[in-house]
Structure 1
Amino acid sequence: MQNTNKTVIKSMKLLHLFRTNPTLTLNEMVDAAGLPKTSVHRMVTSLEEAGLLQRDGTGSYKLGLLFLEFGQLVTERMDLRKIALPYMKELRDQIGEAVNLTIKDQSEALYIEKLDTTHPVRLFTKVGRRSPLYAGACSRIILAHMAEEDVETYLQEQKLTSYGNGTITDAAKLRDILSDSRKKGIAISRSELENGTTSVAAPIFDFKGEIAGGLSIAGPSERFSDDKIQQMIDQLKQASYEISKELGYKEPPL
């Protein structure tokens, strides 16, 4: 507890008051939290500016709409994992390699589910791992299907650092590969995040037709010949399409 930020802890104490109270005045927060009024006023002002609290016409406070956005995001991500898991199990059993599920989180891809291969030689990936959107098939398939202006902003702001001997660090080459992935509905990476590894990924779309995540098959490159990758692609794309349909996606498969 030595490294905790006391202001953050106290601010969370104020927010917790709203779990049982729809609205609270400043004085009611002071009394309930047992904190000095000046401190509460300062924290409430910051929370309001951040969108975590909202003041109504009477001067009382309630939780801000940002919580609604966060709640929707959490629900969507949990639903995606729940929907995808049976298809991931089927895919893993059919192909015998690890299957990963990722989503976009800020400027990174976040692994929210992983099913390991049955082979003794495995890759080091785990739920909660993050990777840059430009590196690795399961990350880059998300980047490829983002809005074009968002992709360009990302490429202009992102430093393309090498992680493996196959990492794409040339922006022009990366743009071409993203365009190709968008057209074909598939991304393939070789030694981009870790040397000696290969990954094949397909996009998952939501009911709005927007990218919701990436589904990939990954393993040691020695088990991913060109012929085997081609065999994987149809099964992978079908699985990602079925997941997309359950999310409300209406378009035909890529």
Structure 2
Amino acid sequence: MSSLSKTLGVLDLFGPEQLQVDPETIAARMGLSRATVYRYVKDLCEAGLLTRVGAGSYGLGPRIIELDWMMRQYDPILSAGRELMHELADKTGLAVFASVFYDGHIINTYITESHDASHFAFGRGHPLPLFRGAQSKVLVASQKGKRLQKLHEEIARDPSNPYSACSWSEFARMAKKIRKDGYSITHDELNTGHTGIAAPIVSVDEKEVMGSISAVGTTANFRLLRQETVLDMLIDTTRRIAQNIHAQRSIPAA
């Protein structure tokens, strides 16, 4: 592992339950000497990736916000699908989420506002639990072979996950059904009283699942809508986003 990778590895210590770290924690978690820790922290602070937030504690720095802004301008799913997501939200009155899978994590990268002012437990950037919620199920199910088996093992180690007791064969069968159906529908899995429908964004050549789009709202609101109609509109939105991404990638560089 390069020195740069080790330095950036400090950022992996942060999470929803760990918003600040101190040098002692970094040294213990990464097996580093205090001198090395202080060198890494100094470099990260100078780059704006860390900032001092208290007596000997550090939090994520302002450079993270700048990178987030740039990501939202040029992220392929958002640049290709932001308007389509708002179009779907306007037609259904539901909140529409864009979500991605990376390095074993699932996060929402964009959320339109719902008409019923719902408050969601997992907002933009907050990691979702594996295989809980429609968007998480769709993205986990898109993994295959050893990747899917590794995710099953991680779920099995989490007693708070309702699918932790599932055997590998049961889990693989559920994932296969989601892939075959091309969507997932869940009720009350992430937000009590809410229903979600998610479908993957599949590349035009069908070789890559680039992310997912989901429509989420109160179960009461879903009863006022024809679920089949919402599903058709959702799948059409993912198809159009994939086509837009393909068109963007086909434009020759200047």
Determine if the TM-score, normalized by the shorter chain, exceeds 0.5: yes
Pick closer, same or farther for the CA change 1:227–1:101 going to 2, 3 Å. same
Retained in 1: the 8 A contact 2:72–2:78?
Answer: no
Pick closer, same or farther for the CA change 1:227–1:154 going to 2, 3 Å. same
Mapped partners of 1:143, 1:211: distance in 2:
11
Greater CA drift, 177-186 or 77-86 = 77-86
Over aligned residue pairs, what C-alpha RMSD do you find? Answer: 3.1
1:191 maps to 2:188 = yes
Mapped partners of 1:109, 1:223: distance in 2:
26
Match 1:109 to one of 103, 106, 110:
106
Pick closer, same or farther for the CA change 1:91–1:75 going to 2, 3 Å. closer
User: Could you say which residue in structure 2 is the equivalent of 1:6?
Assistant: 38
Post-superposition offset of 1:12: 4.1
Deviations 1:132-159 (A, max 9, x none): 2311111111111123331122112333
Mapped partners of 1:162, 1:2: distance in 2:
25
Pick closer, same or farther for the CA change 1:243–1:113 going to 2, 3 Å. same
Match 2:242 to one of 241, 244, 250:
244
Aligned residue pairs total: 190
- Greater C-alpha radius of gyration: 1
User: Could you say which residue in structure 2 is the equivalent of 1:29?
Assistant: none
Retained in 2: the 8 A contact 1:97–1:219?
Answer: yes
1:153 maps to 2:150 = yes
TM-score normalized by the length of structure 1 = 0.64
Deviations 1:107-129 (A, max 9, x none): 22111000011124443442112
**Runs of 5+ consecutive residues of structure 2 not aligned to the other structure:** 1-19, 24-36, 49-70, 248-254
Greater CA drift, 149-158 or 118-127 = 118-127
Deviations 1:36-73 (A, max 9, x none): xxxxxxxxxxxxxxxxxxxxxxxxxxxxxxxxxxxxxx
Post-superposition offset of 1:211: 1.2
Mapped partners of 1:222, 1:192: distance in 2:
15
Match 2:126 to one of 108, 129, 138:
129
Task: Map 1:14-33 to 2 at 5 A.
Answer: none
Residue identity over aligned pairs, in percent, reads 20
Retained in 2: the 8 A contact 1:122–1:220?
Answer: no
TM-score normalized by the length of structure 2 = 0.64
Mapped partners of 1:244, 1:82: distance in 2:
11
Pick closer, same or farther for the CA change 1:119–1:195 going to 2, 3 Å. closer
User: Could you say which residue in structure 1 is the equivalent of 2:213?
Assistant: 215
Mapped partners of 2:203, 2:82: distance in 1:
16
